[in-house]
Structure 1
Amino acid sequence: MLQEFKTFAVKGNMIDLAVGVIIGAAFSKIVDSLVQDLIMPPIGLLLGGLDFSNYYIPLHNQAYGLPLAEVKKAGAVLAYGNFLTVLLNFIILAFIIFQMVRVVNRLRAEPKVAEAPTPPSEEIMLLRDIRDSLKR
């Protein structure tokens, strides 16, 4: 059983998957920072100047206007701003991954080799000769 596990663990696909997961986690952090630090602040400014992740609807008569973390301690809230931030993260990440897959698929596609034109048949050549003779 140990030998089977060793064979499974060192297969190329398993190692590729592990590398992909690690790079994906790091890339996810980059996209998360992009959304939270560069995209959402201007959107929050347009919508009232608050941190967009702090938009919520209190469900247990909590005071509105406090930071989301404090309000959550007092009870449940609908944190729609935080949800929209995570949703935007997902959309950006999915779009970037889609673009990466498109590029990889293009690189993997075998280049189309132009086929050499087939020489015309003898009948076609004969008909062309007759046509050219009639034109003269």
Structure 2
Amino acid sequence: MLQDFKNFALRGNVVDLAVGVIIGAAFGKIIDSMVGDVIMPVIGAVTGGLDFSNYFIPLSKAAHTDMTYEEAKKVGAVVGYGQFITVAVNFIIIAFVLFLVIQAFERMKKKPAEAPAAAEPTKTEVLLTEIRDALRGQPQ
């Protein structure tokens, strides 16, 4: 059983999957930072300084809109639609980048078109080639 597990764990697909998951987690952190630290502040500046992360609808009487989203979550139920907007932008960026990466891989995988096979030489071409070869064989 231990040998079977070792064979399973060391197969190429499992190792590739593990590498993909680790790289994906790191890539996700990069995208989170890009959205949270670069894109959303720009969107906030364009929309008049709006901070999407603090947009929520309080569902309990203890939570109110004067609080930050984190404070409101601690005191009662809230619908954090600002966080949803941020995560949706995250997803769109990740999906677009993955689309570009997959397109690049597909372009690299495509084989170049094969050149058409050379046509058989005509009788005249064969005869001229034989004459040329015969003339080359004679001393000058």
Task: State TM-score, norm by structure 2.
Answer: 0.78
Aligned counterparts of 1:43 and 1:65: Cα–Cα separation in 2: 22
Aligned counterparts of 1:69 and 1:118: Cα–Cα separation in 2: 76
The residue matched to 2:97 in structure 1 has which SS?
helix
Moved over 3 A (4+): 117-122
% identical aligned pairs: 54
Aligned counterparts of 1:25 and 1:49: Cα–Cα separation in 2: 30
Aligned counterparts of 1:45 and 1:66: Cα–Cα separation in 2: 21
Unmatched 5+ residue regions in structure 1?
Answer: 123-136
| CA-to-aligned-CA distance 1:60-111 (integer Å, 9 cap, x gap) | 2322131101001121111111001001101100111111111111112222
The residue matched to 1:44 in structure 2 has which SS?
helix
Shift of 1:49: 1.9
Higher CA-based Rg: 2
Aligned-pair RMSD on alpha carbons?
A: 1.9
Residue in 2 that maps onto 1:80: 81
The residue matched to 2:116 in structure 1 has which SS?
coil
Aligned counterparts of 2:42 and 2:75: Cα–Cα separation in 1: 29
Cα 1:84–1:58 change in 2 (3 A) is: same
Residue in 1 that maps onto 2:32: 32
Unmatched 5+ residue regions in structure 2?
Answer: 124-140
2:78 aligned with 1:102: no
